[in-house]
């Protein structure tokens, strides 16, 4: 009974994470079309506002996932380890292809920015062209494939438990 409660909380926290992170995903696609730097700033701030909920729910789903793995005796199975490794790979790839670019765009736009997990005060804004040049480097489709595809594989591993 306790195991099922922990699995439920794990799944609930994953859903919370995806809901919070969906804000950033939607913003990343909207930024590709936006040509008003003030709206860009507002969208980047909106995305950043979802970070605390995203971060805390990620920690919570990891915690409940680890507890469930202990309770279920799953540590001897390969699917648990592959899920964890895949989760780390997703985080690293998202940091490289997403957080770095959007942090650089925030800095160039003259709003507070995040670098390697730490927030910094705004610096003087660069030109609109520089902001848009940075945003042009972002690839929201690639980020979606990494995040959604990675979570789809992890979900399959957790439900099928193939090995």
| Residues 133/35, Cβ–Cβ less than 8 Å | no
User: What are the φ/ψ torsions at residue 110 (nearest 5 degrees)?
Assistant: 80, 30
| Number of structural domains found in the chain | 1
What pLDDT score does 8 carry? 98
What pLDDT score does 72 carry? 95
What is the phi-psi region of residue 125: left when phi exceeds 0, alpha when psi lies from -120 to 50, beta otherwise? Answer: beta
- Model pLDDT for residues 132-162, shown as the tens digit of each residue: 999 999 999 999 999 999 999 999 999 999 9
Domain that holds residue 58: 2-160
Of 57, 58, 59, 50, which is closest to residue 28 (Cα–Cα)? 50
Q: What is the 3-state secondary structure (H, E, C) of 8-47?
A: HHHHHHHHHHHHHHHHHHHHHHHHCCCCCHHHHHHHHHHH
- Model pLDDT for residues 54-101, shown as the tens digit of each residue: 999 999 999 999 999 999 999 999 999 999 999 999 999 999 999 999
What pLDDT score does 19 carry? 97
Mean pLDDT of the chain: 96
Q: What is the enclosing helix (H) or strand (E) of 113?
A: strand 113-115
């Amino acid at each position: 009974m306790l195991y099922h409660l922990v699995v439920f909380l794990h799944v609930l926290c994953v859903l919370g994470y995806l809901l919070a992170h969906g804000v950033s995903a939607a913003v990343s696609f909207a930024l590709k079309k936006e040509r008003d730097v003030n709206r860009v700033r507002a969208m980047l701030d909106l995305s950043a506002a979802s970070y605390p909920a995203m971060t805390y729910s990620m920690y919570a789903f990891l915690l409940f996932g680890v507890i469930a793995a202990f309770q279920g005796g799953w540590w001897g199975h390969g699917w648990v380890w592959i899920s964890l490794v895949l989760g780390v790979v997703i985080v690293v790839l998202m940091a490289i292809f997403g957080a770095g670019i959007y942090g650089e765009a925030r800095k160039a736009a003259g709003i507070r920015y995040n670098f390697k997990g730490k927030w910094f005060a705004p610096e003087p804004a660069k030109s609109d062209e520089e902001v848009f040049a940075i945003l042009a480097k972002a690839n929201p489709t690639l980020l979606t494939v990494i995040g959604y595809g990675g979570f789809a594989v992890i979900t399959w591993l957790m439900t099928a438990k193939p090995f």
